[in-house]
Amino acid sequence: MSAEQYEIRTINLRRASERNQLKTFLLQENLTLESDLDYAICLMDGDRIIGSGCASGNVLKCIAVDVDYQGQALTNRIISYLRLRGFHEGYSSLFLFTKPGNETVFSELGFFTLAKSPDAILMENRSDGFQIYIDSLKIPDDSMPAASIVMNCNPFTLGHRYLIEKACGENERVHLFVVKEDLSVFPFDQRMSLIQEGCSDLKNLFIHEGRDYIISHATFPTYFIKDSKIINDSYARIDLDLFARRIAPALSITKRYVGEEPFDVVTSRYNQLMKEILPENGVDVVEIPRKSCSDGAVSATKVRKAMADNRYGELKNWVPPTTYDFLLSEEGQKIGEIIKRKALSVAKESEQV
């Protein structure tokens, strides 16, 4: 039977019956339905789902074909449909994370491998996407050795400033990559603006959007991996492999600065893997103790907690003046209200447990 004879049906992810039908199919394929999907299609043989393809922004996910229907080029049809949809949505590149065993399948469908880990690979549907990103960065046209930092800054604190200032004081050039994903409570544009304003005096600092090539743990797909430890390690290894083999050589990066992480288990494990992977690829890891004040280490988490508790007077101890002024502004107060509502929701859920 020709692949074209099967109906492609767009799934309404807000409708429980359709979402549950897709969820059941994916479970049969040993996959899980992720919560951040904004688009989904299914191939139908009558009322039976025989294939699926989903997307979260420009990341393709949950691509599967029923074993009884494999060998009919159905994956090709699903990918072609998702490519067309991505084009109409204005995405210049599409990405997918998948099992290493699927690398050949997607390579034959026009995807190129960007980074690998033992349990996952990252692929892109164009061979020049990464080079276009590098060419877009505003950097001097030379190969001077440089240091680097990757940050989220949710929001920008004196702890972030301390780490950046340390790197800038010890190196002639520093590249700072800001994680692009907008799942943080402070939107990307605002985080970028606070960093730029708070570091305007550091003339050897080059601030870049991480875009799709600095992977966020919050957006790393987990639909094909069950074990949480493997998920965390796969995310870290993919991100670090991409940084070590692609970003660092392109920008002559020989050092990466990172702050100590004594509290968060996931970040601590990431730092541990960083110390293993980057030196193997010619990039030294420089770990800096956290900046402390009278009431302990400075952190963005502490800032958000104070905002949730309406303790704005304490923020001056933890954030630069530029960040403090923003937090007191009308826009900053709106973000503060979002933080308060989230904190209240978490508290209510805890009471019900």
- Residue 350 clears pLDDT 70, i.e. is over it: no
191 and 58 share a domain?
Answer: no
Question: 162 and 44: one domain?
Answer: no
204 shares a domain with 273: yes
How much of the chain, in percent, has pLDDT values that exceed 70?
Answer: 95
- For residue 191, pLDDT beyond 60: yes
- Residue 239 scores a pLDDT above 70: yes
Q: Which domain holds residue 68?
A: 3-130
Looking up residue 36, the CATH number of its domain turns out to be: 3.40.630.30
- Say if residue 110 is in the same domain as residue 10: yes
Query: Same domain, yes or no, for 325 and 205?
Result: yes
Written as six digits, the tokens of 68 are 């009884």
Say whether pLDDT at 142 is over 60: yes
Per-residue model confidence as pLDDT tens digits over 196-221: 999 999 999 999 999 999 987 656 76
Residues 121 and 141 in one domain: no
Residue 128 makes CB contacts below 8 A (sequence gap 6+) with: none
**End-of-domain residue from the set 61, 95, 130:** 130
Judge if 265 and 171 occupy the same domain.
yes
Could you read off the pLDDT of 33-86 as tens digits, one per residue?
988 899 999 999 999 999 999 999 999 999 999 999 999 999 999 999 999 999
Residue 314 Cα to chain centre, angstroms: 30
Q: With contact defined as beta carbons under 8 Å apart, do 342 and 170 qualify?
A: no
Of the candidates 130, 165, 189, which is a domain's last residue? 130
Domain count, the chain: 2
* Pairing verdict, β 174-178 and 121-124: unpaired
87-124 pLDDT tens trace: 999 999 999 999 899 999 999 999 999 999 998 899 99
CA-wise closest residue to 231 among 217, 216, 210, 212: 217
Of 130, 164, 186, at which residue does a domain stop? Answer: 130
- What is the domain-level CATH number for residue 276? 3.40.50.620
Q: If you average pLDDT over residues 262-266, what whole number do you get? A: 78
